[in-house]
Amino acid sequence: MSDPSEKRGLWKWPKSKWLLGIPLGGFLMLGVGAVGLLVMNKVLHATSTSEFCLSCHTHQGISVAEFEASSHSYNNTGVRAECADCHLPDPEEKWLHYVMMKMVVSLDIIAEIRGVANTDEKYEAHRAEWARKVWTEYRENESEYCLHCHQFDHMTIADQPRLAQRRHTRALDTGQSCIDCHQGIAHKLPENWEQIWDEVEQETASVVPATGTKLAEGK
Ligand code: HEC
Ligand code: HEC
Ligand code: HEC
Ligand code: HEC
């Protein structure tokens, strides 16, 4: 029904005064893209602060108290490990993985609205299940997040307490990663955590062999 000449008219080369629109449009798109990226980066950054994490995890009162009490919050050096340091990939080095993790984590909003963990009691009831998830992740990425700050290469192992010297030297041989001995570094351990840890170790034995090692203290 449409008049073919009209159609041709639509596609004909634009009048010269409109031609300027092409580069202008291009610049506009670039501008919109840049602003979009900036906004996105701001949002990504803002949602990686401990304040943001704690905006939900505060209802689960214990997380705050545990975090504040841990040596990773207050210590002689004044260096503080934020939630994201230990729970998200480094955005500088692994941007894509970081963005993907944030998308997955944003689904926790649903659980938050459902009130899955809005009291200490509910949190405690789920702790084992969530610790299991984090341990599995740590076993699989070989404690990548600890390595954001710590490196065996930069430890003066000889100056460490005897037990640490022995264990760290052994870890270098066996390929064990930090989490294999340092469970519960920033949070209270779940009840019957030893059994859960053993299960996680077995399930991830293809990454790092299961050794049954637990908790650095007193070993
Ligand atoms: C919108 C509220 C909300 C925010 C913000 C939030 N969380 Fe959570 N988080 C939850 C809820 C609810 C769960 C339990 C989810 C479930 O049922 O699996 C959870 C679970 C977790 C777990 C348990 C293991 C897992 O992988 O599911 C970790 C670790 C965690 N959050 C860390 C963080 C960190 C780090 C931040 C900040 C970057 C953060 N959360 C921000 C609500 C939130
Ligand atoms: C943001 C940097 C950062 C991250 C990430 C980090 N740490 Fe630390 N860690 C520190 C600093 C700084 C100290 C020194 C604190 C002190 O003087 O007690 C420390 C101390 C320690 C100690 C000795 C004190 C103690 O509490 O027993 C251990 C063990 C340790 N870290 C293990 C880990 C493990 C395991 C991870 C990963 C789950 C990790 N750290 C992640 C910065 C970090
Ligand atoms: C094979 C077990 C094992 C592994 C793996 C391991 N550690 Fe340790 N670590 C220990 C033991 C045991 C101690 C001594 C604990 C104590 O004295 O209470 C220790 C102590 C430490 C200390 C305190 C040192 C000091 O001078 O007081 C830091 C920091 C630490 N470990 C960080 C790490 C980090 C980071 C990783 C991963 C890169 C790691 N450890 C891997 C067993 C291990
Ligand atoms: C020093 C590293 C470190 C810091 C800092 C840290 N976490 Fe964790 N987090 C872990 C590890 C490792 C686990 C696995 C369980 C364990 O070993 O305690 C864990 C477990 C969890 C869990 C699962 C439930 C549990 O209690 O085990 C939640 C939820 C969580 N972290 C949230 C947070 C939030 C929110 C913050 C900031 C307030 C934070 N974490 C700070 C290392 C850390």
pTM value?
A: 0.90
Percent of the chain whose predicted confidence (pLDDT) is above 70: 89
Residue that wins the pLDDT comparison between 42 and 18? 42
Question: pLDDT tens-digit profile of 161-188?
Answer: 999 999 999 998 889 999 999 999 988 8
Q: What does the pLDDT read at residue 183?
A: 94
Q: What is the rounded distance in angstroms from the CA atom of residue 151 to the CA atom of residue 130?
A: 26
| Neighbour-count burial of 175, counting CB atoms closer than 10 A to its CB (0-12 exposed, 13-18 middle, 19+ buried) | exposed
Query: Cα(168) to centroid of ligand 4, in Å?
Result: 22
Q: What is the rounded distance in angstroms from the CA atom of residue 82 to the CA atom of residue 69?
A: 13
Q: What is the mean pLDDT of residues 82-94?
A: 93
How much helix, strand and coil, in percent to the nearest 5, is found in the chain? 60, 0, 40
Question: pLDDT tens-digit profile of 95-136?
Answer: 999 999 998 888 888 988 898 888 888 888 999 999 999 999
| Contact between 173 and 108 (Cβ < 8 Å) | no
H/E run at residue 192: none
Q: What does the pLDDT read at residue 194?
A: 94
Q: What does the pLDDT read at residue 12?
A: 72
Q: How far is CA 216 from CA 165, 182, 183, in A?
A: 12, 6, 8
Which letter, b or e, does each residue of 142-161 get, where b requires 16 or more Cβ atoms within 10 Å of its Cβ? bbbbbebeeeeeeeeeeeee
Q: Atom 37 in ligand 4: which residue has the minimum CA distance?
A: 83
Q: Structure tokens of 165?
A: 């010297």
Atom of ligand 4 at shortest range from CA of 130: 23
Q: Is the pLDDT of residue 61 over 60?
A: no
Q: Which of 87, 142, 178 to mutate to test the pocket of ligand 4 (most atoms within 8 A of CB)?
A: 87
Question: pLDDT tens-digit profile of 133-167?
Answer: 999 999 999 999 999 999 999 999 999 999 999 99
Domain ranges of the chain: 25-118, 120-219
